[in-house]
Amino acid sequence: MHELSLAMEVVDLASREASGNNINNILSIRIEIGDICGVDADVFRSALEIASHHSILEHAEIEIIRTPGKAICRECTGEVLVTELLSVCPRCGIIPEIITGGKEFRVLSMLAE
Amino acid sequence: MCETCGCGQPGEYTIHIPGDEKINEQSHDHIYEHPHPHLHTHGHSDKREMKVIEVNRDILSENNLMAERNRGFFEGLNASCYNLVSSPGSGKTSILEKTITGLGKIKKIFVIEGDQQSSMDAERIKKAGAPAIQINTGTACHLDARMVNQALKKLEIARDSLVLIENVGNLVCPALFDLGENKRVVVISVTEGDDKPLKYPYMFASAHLCLINKIDLLPYVDFNMNKAIDFAIKVNHHLEFIEISAKTGEGMQKWFSWIG
């Protein structure tokens, strides 16, 4: 449910960038969502579609780039792909603690006219 | 109307001291100036000029910047701030009431209450003897740093005091929102099930202390304390634990020492 608050932040962010750059219309927006950032990408997309009504993003194509979760296991010091916070290292069976990727949640760029 | 949760309007929250008039706050005031981002211009033969605007901005950056302002405010007053998070019904308000009774004579305590609606929690805190301010989020499911910032302006926090924030009852959304606290306290009660940490890992991963409340009910529920602690450590090996009963007072001295 926090996806809706966050979608509203994106609409605000887009409005600010638009007014600062003399933009009339945003054609597309690229957003990066990491697999373990705590935000569900599908729910966020739906939330953004709703939050965009009557805003500068109303007609924008929403492009979501997913980045994989990565962490380093303290036992084997190998890098592990993690799909969720409780994923375990396949070699050691423990949860790798040092997260090195997948927590991104940001607006990358917008295409505007 | 929101298809996900049924809410309708963009965020409008209220902040008030129990007994005072409610003041509506807009949740989206523009505080920060942004430097103009890098622009590319693409020429097109149909004369519509399209531009790529590089943004590269963390969506939570506004909240995080405001949280740091709150943090600085607390530091300036040598005040400590704790953000209490949990499911609804874990006993957060009772814990705060007992904390005010137990510590209120040696430490000035201020409370920020967060709920969707109603001032009942802030009224309870006031009755217990501490200044309280109520944030009603309306439809939002978590407090954010901006709401807390507005509340702090109305609360007149004293030097060297203890500021306790009772977040909206929700083990999911508050995990992402830094409020500017020193430490985050996740509260679970023994009636909720020992697998809670596995079900809500983001919240447990973001916390510093886990308070396990209602231990007076242990004889009547299937709650395995060791399992619950093990699960929580799996998610966050830095987590500390204190077992308490706000009702009987058991363990409360340890909690007072931790925050005092």
What's B178's domain CATH number? 3.40.50.300
Q: Cα separation of B178 and B144, whole Å?
A: 7
Supply the pLDDT for residue B39: 55
Does B235 contact A95 at a Cβ distance shorter than 8 Å?
yes
Q: Is residue B149 part of a domain?
A: yes
Q: Which residue has the higher pLDDT, B164 or A23?
A: B164
Phi first, then psi, for residue B132 (nearest 5°) are: -135, 150
Q: Is residue B1 part of a domain?
A: no
Supply the pLDDT for residue A93: 84
Does A110 contact B52 at a Cβ distance shorter than 8 Å?
yes
Does A17 contact B176 at a Cβ distance shorter than 8 Å?
no
Q: Is residue B51 part of a domain?
A: no
Supply the pLDDT for residue B122: 86
Domain count, chain B: 1
Topology (CATH level 3) of domain A2-68+102-112: hypothetical protein PF0899 fold (3.30.2320)
Q: CA B211 → CA B2, B5, B82, B193, distances in Å? A: 34, 29, 13, 14
Residues of B in contact with A88 (CB under 8 A): none
Q: Is residue B55 part of a domain?
A: no
Put simply, the chain B residues between 195 and 214 with a CB less than 8 A from any chain A CB are: 198, 201-202, 205
Q: Cα separation of B191 and B238, whole Å?
A: 24
Q: Which residue of B has its CA nearest to A36?
A: B202
Residues of A in contact with B3 (CB under 8 A): 46, 50
CA of A71 to nearest chain B CA: how many angstroms apart? 13
Supply the pLDDT for residue B27: 46
Q: Considering CB atoms only, which of B5, B34, B198 is closest to A16?
A: B34
Q: What is the DSSP letter of B190?
A: G
CA of B130 to nearest chain A CA: how many angstroms apart? 30
Does B55 contact A39 at a Cβ distance shorter than 8 Å?
no
ipTM higher than threshold 0.95: no
Cα B190 to chain centroid distance, Å, stands at 21
Q: Considering CB atoms only, which of A31, A38, A110 is closest to B53?
A: A110
Residues of A in contact with B202 (CB under 8 A): 38, 85
Q: Which of A3, A5, A65 to mutate to test the interface with B (most CBs of B within 10 A)?
A: A5
Per-residue pLDDT of chain B (260 residues; tens, 9 = 90+): 333 443 444 457 888 888 876 666 654 443 333 444 555 555 444 556 889 999 999 999 999 999 999 999 999 999 999 999 999 999 999 999 999 999 999 999 999 998 888 888 888 999 999 999 999 888 889 999 999 999 999 999 999 999 999 999 999 999 999 999 999 999 999 999 999 999 999 999 999 999 999 999 999 999 999 999 999 999 998 999 999 999 999 999 999 999 98
Q: What is the mean pLDDT of chain A?
A: 92
Q: Considering CB atoms only, which of B11, B55, B173 is closest to A110?
A: B55
Residues of A in contact with B146 (CB under 8 A): none
Domain positions in chain A:
2-68+102-112
Q: Which residue of A has its CA nearest to B206?
A: A38
Percent above pLDDT 90 for chain A: 66
**Domain assignment of residue B122, given as a range:** 61-259
Residues of B in contact with A104 (CB under 8 A): 58
Q: Is residue B28 part of a domain?
A: no
> Smallest Cα–Cα separation from A6: which of A112, A101, A105?
A105
Q: Is B2 exposed, middle or buried (0-12, 13-18, 19+ CB in 10 A)?
A: middle
